[in-house]
Amino acid sequence: MLRFAPSPNGPLHLGHAYSALYTWAAAKRLRGTALLRIEDIDKGRSRPEFIAAIYDDLRWLDLYWPEPVMLQSQRLDAYAAAGADLRASDLLYPCFCSRSAIAAASTGTDPDGAPLYPGTCRHLGRGEQIARLEAGEPVQFRLDMERALAMTGLLSFTVTGPSPADRPQIRYARPARWGDVVLQRKNMPASYHLAVVVDDAAQSITHVTRGRDMEAATDIHVLLQMLLGLPTPFYEFHRLILDDDGRKLAKSRHSQSLADLREQGWTPDDVRRAVGF
């Protein structure tokens, strides 16, 4: 079982098309099924019209999936329950720091280039935590990485390739390089990391295909799977589609959408040729 899980915060572009085509091709190679999941827990940016556009774009590419489609916005209770399990193991702690405060105090960066959390709120006493929570201060909950790794020890996962001739590789996860990651955001019971591992388990995902920009994040996911007693899928990392300047395509940079290409007369075969399918 595989999945393609876009966020409905903008139109799909050629990078998404490549990822979707790659996933459906992998499902065919493995004689499995590709599911569609909509990662719409970002209420500030997700839009119903973007969900409808995702369906239109994928069907235009002749890609289909079993119904019903999983929407993360309908699974908040499942994420809250997973967070409660971690909190019961004393693995989460409240963090009241602003982004600017973290940036000012940080002495390093995570694999995505963001400031590493310096652990400021990890050392707050229980009484101060409770008082600040009761006062209604904005809060997010972070994973105590040191405690988590003490519980799990060395972690590994299996990486596969696109060809049956590719030998699976065992890779060791390095979640410590991410520091105390946020797992429950302000006014939201899950960050991407927590939601994705809960959903993969709920949908019995056996193989995850993702771009190389998400390769390092797999460290966190393997750690959470171990902490929550969830299965670890096989992982396969594909190349990224780049623009003329060598940067990956992105909604934030307004990369040309599939809908725009369709209006310009592109066919699904044109898209496949453009991305190497």
Q: How far is Cα 268 from Cα 107, in angstroms, rounded to an integer? A: 47
Q: What is the pLDDT of residues 152-202, one digit of tens each?
A: 999 999 999 887 778 899 999 999 999 999 999 888 899 999 999 999 999
> Is residue 24 pLDDT above 90, yes or no?
yes
**Residue boundaries of the structural domains of the chain:** 75-192
Kind and range of the H or E run holding 25:
helix 14-29
Has domain 75-192 been given CATH number 3.40.50.200? no
Would the CA dihedral through 128, 134, 139, 145 be positive or negative? Answer: positive
Confidence of residue 120 (pLDDT cuts 50, 70, 90): very high
Pairing of strands 234-238, 207-211: parallel
> Is residue 255 pLDDT above 90, yes or no?
no
The SS3 call for residue 143 is strand
Is the pTM higher than 0.85?
yes
Q: Are 168 and 159 in contact (CB under 8 A)?
A: yes
